[in-house]
Amino acid sequence: MFKNYFKIAIAVLKRRKFFTFISLFGISFTLTVLMVATAFVNKVVSSDYPDLKRDRCLYVNRVEMRNTKEGWYNQSSPSYYLAEHYISTLKVPQKISISSFSRRTNAYVNDKKIFIEYQFTNADYWTVGDFIFLEGKPYTQQQISNAERVAVISESTKKAYFGDVPVAVGKYIEADNVSYRVIGVVKGVSKTMQVYYADLYLPYTVSKTDYKRKSLMGDYKVILLAGTKADVSRMKQEFNAMIAKVPIDNKQYDKMYIHADGAFEDLCRRMVGDGLNSGVFKLVSLVGLVVFLFLLLPTINLVNINITRIMERSSEIGVRKAFGASSRTLVYQFIVENLILTFIGGGIGLIFSILVIYQINALELIPNLDLRLNVSVLLYSLLACLFFGLLSGVYPAWRMSRLNVVRALKS
């Protein structure tokens, strides 16, 4: 039966080439935009180098204090003190990564200026994140305790600072007017990976600012790694119980919110949420609304064209109805035909999106961003095709099934 539908669909497509072109143009363009957007969202949302253990991690990024009477609030990130003095006491996490947010400074090589983003990290940072070391290795706990001036640099920093040398390990890099010995080179991290993106990684003990300052708010971020997936919820409970006991160090405020969030929750909280609300619902509905509005115009257009095409086929429908085909069969047939059309459009869209993604990667609009059409992106695109096909096929099919047999046959 499907084979028949397929044959009919192809025959219909060949009959009115102009309409076919309009439909395919609309479908493939719409799906191209959707696929590229999906590839981007997928890049941001899913586990990616070097954040591969995402499902076992919880992220602590913000400290929010509120004065519930006056309505003031103050929001910042955790301090090293909070991470070391309170969070490190937790028993469930296997590893606790502590690192500063990226700061920027300059380095000068042969009178050329390079912008360098650098992070201060602890030793666990290198085991929680799965970095690929092209050369050398990370600094050890011993080196951190000794406050040795050693550095791990990214691939692009090596190229920018040392040029095309085979080995950078053992050389010295001068950034922020301090000289550091390079002990490792890592593969570049995508800029979308905010937690791990930097050009230069340094032991926190060489930080120029006073990292021991006894304040809860500071410039650091913490990642908790659980031993197994099952431990994550236990880890969260332990974290919340511990935070509830931390005294607020500022008398202006009476409530404090510090969350250990999963990766997606953390992303939502950073973008639209606050201490009280994680913003997952807000972000998801916002994205849904944008997608809906974007789909509205192509869908109406396609519905319009589909109706026109069906009306053209009214004699065929009349004959089939007269010979006893039920409305349901006709609706199915039309929806299947429309889905076939959508999938052909989807195929063309896929080719276009590969081209667009190749262009985006080549332009390097975002450092180290390497968009890919992987299995999950393809799966989402397939879903988008199905959704779009149904959306634009159901109403015309319904209109068709209500066609009066006598009038249809008369024409």
Partner 1 sequence: MFKHLFKLMWNKRKHNFLFLSEILVSFMVIFAISSFLIYYFQNYSKERGLDYEKVWSVSYDESYKTKNSDSLTMYYENLKNVIKALPEVEEVSFSSNNIPYANSISTTSITFKGKSFDGINQYLVGEGYKKVWNMNLEEGRWFTKEDEVAKDRPIVINETLKRDLFGDQSAVGKSTADYEGNKKLKIIGVVQDFKANGDFQPSGRAMFWKVDTAAFRWLNSLLIKVGPKADAAFESRLYKLISNTMKNSSIEITHVSELRISKNEATVMPMIIFSIIAGFLILNVALGLFGVLWYNINKRKGEIGLRRAIGASGSSVSLQLVAESFVLASMSLIVGVFFALQFPLLGVYNVPSAVYLTAILLSVGFIYVLVILCALYPGKQAAAILPAVALHEE
28, amino acid identity: S
Q: Should residue 17 be labelled a site residue for partner 1 when binding is judged by CB under 8 A?
A: no
Q: What is the spatial distance between Cα 92 and Cα 232, in angstroms, rounded to a whole number?
A: 9
- Based on CB atoms, which residue is closest to partner 1, 278 or 392? 392
Smallest separation (angstroms) from partner 1 to the CB of 18: 6
User: Binding-site residue total for partner 1 (CB under 8 A)?
Assistant: 35
Tell how strand 73-78 and strand 63-66 pair up: antiparallel
> Distance (Å, rounded) from C-alpha 101 to C-alpha 195?
8
State how far the alpha carbon of 312 is from the alpha carbons of 105, 287, 305, 316, 400, in Å: 67, 38, 11, 9, 11
329 SS3 class = helix
Q: Judged by CB under 8 A, does residue 179 bind partner 1?
A: no
- Find the binding residues for partner 1 in span 305-334 (CB under 8 A): 305, 307-308, 311-312
> Is there binding between residue 151 and partner 1 (CB under 8 A)?
no
Which tokens in the block code for residue 153?
A: 């640099």
User: Three-class SS of residue 310?
Assistant: helix
Task: Determine if 257 is a binding residue for partner 1 (CB under 8 A).
Answer: no
Under the criterion CB under 8 A, does residue 194 sit at the interface with partner 1? no
Closest approach, Cβ 109 to partner 1, in A, equals 9
Question: Whose Cβ is closer to partner 1: residue 213's or residue 372's?
Answer: 213
Report whether 178 contacts 149 (CB < 8 A): yes
The interface region with partner 1, picked from 15-23, 82-90, 143-151, 317-325 by CB under 8 A, is 15-23
Contact 393, 339 (CB under 8 A): yes
- Name which of 124 and 219 has its Cβ closer to partner 1: 219
Amino acid identity for residue 407 in this structure? R
Closest separation in Å from C-beta 289 to partner 1? 14
Q: Is 106 in the site for partner 1 (CB under 8 A)?
A: yes
Q: Identity (one letter) of the amino acid at 373?
A: L
Q: Which amino acid, residue 294?
A: F
Q: Which of 284, 297, 322, 406 binds partner 1 (CB under 8 A)?
A: 297
Q: State the minimum distance, in angstroms, from the CB of residue 185 to partner 1.
A: 23
Closest CA to 208 of 147, 153, 124, 157: 147
Six token digits for residue 292 = 């809906």
Please, which residues bridge with residue 65 across strands? 74, 256
By CB under 8 A, the residues from 200 to 239 that bind partner 1 are 208-209
Residue with tokens 């199915």: 332
Chain positions contacting partner 1, by CB under 8 A: 18-19, 21-22, 25-26, 29-30, 33, 103-106, 108, 111-113, 176-177, 208-209, 294, 296-298, 300-305, 307-308, 311-312
